[in-house]
Amino acid sequence: MSLRLIIAISTLLGAASFAQTPTAPGEAQTPPAAARQIPWPTLLGLRSHQTARMFPLVDRVVLVPDGATYLDELGRWSAAGRWPVLFEDDQYAPMFIRAFQPEQVIRRDSVGELPETPKQQKDLMESVVIRVFGGDPTQDSLRETFDRARHIPAGVVIASPADPAWTAAVALAAGHGQPLAWLSGPSRKPHLALATGEAVELTRRVESLVAEQGYSYAGLGDQIDAITICRTMAGKAEIDRAAWTQAPAPPEFQDGPVAITDLLGRTRQRGRYAFVGWILGDEARSAYMAMCSLFLEAHNIHLYNTYPEKDFWLTYGVSEAASVMREKGFEVRTAGGENATERAWLRMLPRGLSTDVFVMNSKGHANDFDLYSGKGYPVDVPILNRPVALHLIHSWSMRNPVNRNTVGGRWLQRGAYALVASAHEPLLGAFIPPRVLAERWLAYVPFLVAARHWNGPYSGPWRISTFGDPLMLCNPPEPDAMQRLSWSSQDIPGGRDLGEQAKAAMRRIAEDGDREAFAEAAAALNLLGRDDLLIKLWTVAKQKDAQASVARPVLGALFRRGDADQFMLAWDQLPARDDEAVDMLWHLLLPRLGEGAKQDWLYQLQATIRQPLPHVDLKRLAPHLTRAFGWTHLRALIQRELDKTRNEHARKKLAEMLKKS
């Protein structure tokens, strides 16, 4: 079936892809004849796509200071238009804005506090979704509002008002038109695994919440096919496979846990009824992940293959996927073989990663990843210049998603908003090869859904973790994409145009050299993604002896430009050196050390050896330090790190280095 025909059928179906007759909870419903021509994975994506097209896109981003203002701003979405809403911060908001490139960025004043009780908070959150779909929260329930709009949700969003990821839940419920359901009870830490009884109880509770919405969900291809969990929970679960009658095991099955996202959305009798995405984190990052899914489109893709180009590894090669994606209008970059070594990876890190989708084939452990030759580590995960959707073939990468010293945890912390990885050893066959992934994405299969086996031995509960919005698409670039509307900033209560604020601050600098204005202008320009103006401001700040006010905001701009000399000048002015700044220093300078590095660079790098694996940095610095300062200097530095390091693996590696030096 051609893409043009698929879209035409989708338009005829509208957002409500099914007949409006009521169904008992869990009862399967037969789609209309037109829908039955489309495979259920594509139909799910088209339902998401069509709902998005119901709302005109307003060419703005609104920044808010707190949760109450966030809900107030989301509640202003309507059939007339919607726009991204983000918490103002120094990392995720600027990254999103650089990718989205809005006509205006509005900064809102606080409207006050959230209601005190969980019941009041839930009512307020649900009222936002009701208003977006044209209902009256004082009279209408969410179900009544959807029914009146002839809208059938494709998924259910499950959250807790006590967990900060509620910000993603409300946005995705309002953005896709999904009911909100509330999962109460204490959370378990994401690196833990539920026991079998706990896992069975959680799957039962989740299914009960889905059933309570009153839509059919029993099988794939009916009304509810997606679940988004927006809260902290254990990332894995132990299960008794004999109790899961629809859970085929891989031939090479090993004992151990399965990913919680691959267990939920299933019953022990009927098997999978929905695909699950998981969002966790603070209010700012959770909102960011939701907004990326709802508002960013993929135009370029980077395919990175570290596997040998022979034997069974060829199945996971990227050349065929690259050809397929290019044919459909994507800008595609590939790397493999000698272009995917440790040296090549490190030389990719300066200036950061600028791509919409990153597909990487690797192997290794939670705190390292193999390259074609050599290894990478969590500290080597690229600085992201823009949000990225990541498909990562790599064992153990999501063993602990909230630990930035693991491979998957570092990608999430950097700003990956959709991520496919593994919670345990999954075996290579559990992953979908890049060529098949590309074909599914281009057929409008949602990003996370495309990454799982739909039948066969790996289709049962397994070890592939899926983070983000399960309705997010990676569809072909569309030349007739929705035009953005221009609205006046005057319609936002308590809203101020950030661009105008930046101009006013720069005028104060020009007129009277106001030192406070330097910090104000730098923060605004960083949020606006205006690296060009930020670097010009840095030049003026140096002339006015105001570098310290501008140093941290301009550091990222200088990094993205690749200007090592100016970066070091800003580095020297930092009042404090956060983890991301330290990683930028290493990513920018390390690949240049062979070019006749300045001694100051070596001093700064040896002063910022990174924990918990200091031997990684020392091994890479060793030849340069020895050449510049001699063996005695290197031995003293190794001993310094050995004295303060508590990680046993690192201590062993440092002791080996000391012995060899």
Q: Is residue 476 part of a domain?
A: no
Q: Is residue 248 part of a domain?
A: no
User: At a CB cut-off of 8 Å and minimum separation 6, what does 186 contact?
Assistant: none
The closest alpha carbon to 69, from 82, 54, 88, 52, belongs to: 88
The closest alpha carbon to 360, from 301, 279, 293, 292, belongs to: 301
pLDDT tens by residue, 275-288 = 999 999 999 999 99
Strands 236-237 and 193-194: parallel
Q: Are residues 509 and 446 both part of a single domain? A: no
pLDDT at 309: 85
Looking at 556, 576, 609, which one is the last position of a domain?
556
Output the six-digit token pair for 216: 């059919």
pLDDT tens by residue, 38-77 = 899 999 999 999 999 899 999 999 999 999 999 999 999 9
Residue 16 pLDDT level (bands cut at 50, 70, 90): very low
Angstrom CA distances, 296 to 388, 520, 621, stand at 10, 28, 39
Q: Which range (199-203, 336-340, 512-516, 522-526) has the least confidence?
A: 512-516
Q: Are residues 312 and 435 both part of a single domain? A: yes
pLDDT tens by residue, 588-606 = 999 999 766 688 999 999 9
Angstrom CA distances, 54 to 79, 445, 452, 480, stand at 7, 19, 29, 15
Q: Is residue 26 part of a domain?
A: no
Q: What is the CATH number of the domain that holds 309?
A: 3.40.50.1460
pLDDT at 491: 79
Q: Is residue 179 part of a domain?
A: no
> What is the full DSSP assignment across 326-369?
HHTT-EEEEEEGGGGSHHHHHHH-TT-B--SEEEEE--EETTEE
Give CA–CA dist 407/394, Å, rounded: 9
Q: Are residues 405 and 498 both part of a single domain? A: no
* DSSP SS3 for 531: helix
pLDDT at 28: 44
Q: Are residues 325 and 425 both part of a single domain? A: yes
Domain that holds residue 526: 494-556
Give CA–CA dist 73/84, Å, rounded: 10
- Whether 492 shows a pLDDT value over 90: the answer reads no
Number of independent structural domains in the chain: 2
pLDDT at 9: 43
- Whether 11 shows a pLDDT value over 50: the answer reads no
Q: Are 467 and 401 in contact (CB under 8 A)?
A: yes
pLDDT tens by residue, 425-438 = 999 999 999 999 99
Q: Are residues 440 and 498 both part of a single domain? A: no
pLDDT tens by residue, 300-313 = 999 999 999 888 89
For the chain, what is the mean pLDDT?
91
Burial class (CB in 10 A: 0-12, 13-18, 19+), 626: middle
Q: Are residues 529 and 386 both part of a single domain? A: no
Question: Which pTM value belongs to this model?
Answer: 0.94
- Whether 20 shows a pLDDT value over 60: the answer reads no
Helix, strand, coil % in the chain, rounded to nearest 5: 45, 15, 40
Q: Are residues 425 and 514 both part of a single domain? A: no
Q: Is residue 422 part of a domain?
A: yes
CA–chain centroid gap for 53, Å, is 23
pLDDT tens by residue, 205-247 = 999 999 999 999 999 999 999 999 999 999 999 987 766 766 6
CA–chain centroid gap for 84, Å, is 16
Looking at 556, 577, 599, which one is the last position of a domain?
556
Q: 22 or 389, which is more confident?
A: 389
Q: Are 48 and 293 in contact (CB under 8 A)?
A: no
The mean pLDDT of 188-195, rounded to a whole number, is 94
Q: Is residue 139 part of a domain?
A: no
pLDDT at 270: 78
Q: 187 or 387, which is more confident?
A: 387
pLDDT at 8: 45
Give CA–CA dist 427/425, Å, rounded: 6
Q: Are 333 and 388 in contact (CB under 8 A)?
A: no
pLDDT at 2: 46
pLDDT at 272: 94
DSSP state of 68: H
> What is the full DSSP assignment across 220-275?
TTSS--EEEEES---SEE---GGG-TT-PPPTT--SS-EEHHHHTTEETTTEE--E
Give CA–CA dist 356/416, Å, rounded: 10
- Whether 406 shows a pLDDT value over 50: the answer reads yes
- Whether 655 shows a pLDDT value over 70: the answer reads yes
Give CA–CA dist 446/391, Å, rounded: 13
Q: Are residues 373 and 321 both part of a single domain? A: yes
User: At a CB cut-off of 8 Å and minimum separation 6, what does 121 contact?
Assistant: 114, 115, 161, 166
Q: Are residues 437 and 548 both part of a single domain? A: no
pLDDT tens by residue, 80-94 = 999 999 999 999 999
The closest alpha carbon to 158, from 187, 134, 199, 117, belongs to: 187
- Whether 333 shows a pLDDT value over 80: the answer reads yes
Q: Are 316 and 428 in contact (CB under 8 A)?
A: yes
Q: Is residue 345 part of a domain?
A: yes
Give CA–CA dist 183/187, Å, rounded: 10
Q: Are residues 363 and 441 both part of a single domain? A: yes
Looking at 503, 534, 556, which one is the last position of a domain?
556
Q: Which pairs with CB-CB distance under 8 Å and at least 24 residues apart come from 200-204?
A: 200/239, 200/243, 200/268, 202/233, 202/237, 202/260, 202/264, 203/263, 203/264, 203/266, 203/267, 203/268
Q: Is the peptide bond before 612 cis (omega within 30 degrees of 0)?
A: yes
Report the half-sphere exposure of 617 (CA within 13 A, side-chain side).
23
pLDDT tens by residue, 109-143 = 999 999 999 999 999 999 999 999 999 999 999 99
Q: Is residue 360 part of a domain?
A: yes
Q: Are residues 429 and 515 both part of a single domain? A: no
Give CA–CA dist 620/381, Å, rounded: 16
- Whether 102 shows a pLDDT value over 90: the answer reads yes
Q: Are residues 420 and 543 both part of a single domain? A: no
Q: How many CB atoms lie within 10 A of CB 364?
A: 18
Residue 496 pLDDT level (bands cut at 50, 70, 90): very high
Give CA–CA dist 661/654, Å, rounded: 10
Residue 5 pLDDT level (bands cut at 50, 70, 90): very low
Tokens 């980077």 locate to: 302
Give CA–CA dist 90/15, Å, rounded: 36
Residue 256 pLDDT level (bands cut at 50, 70, 90): confident
The mean pLDDT of 375-394, rounded to a whole number, is 97
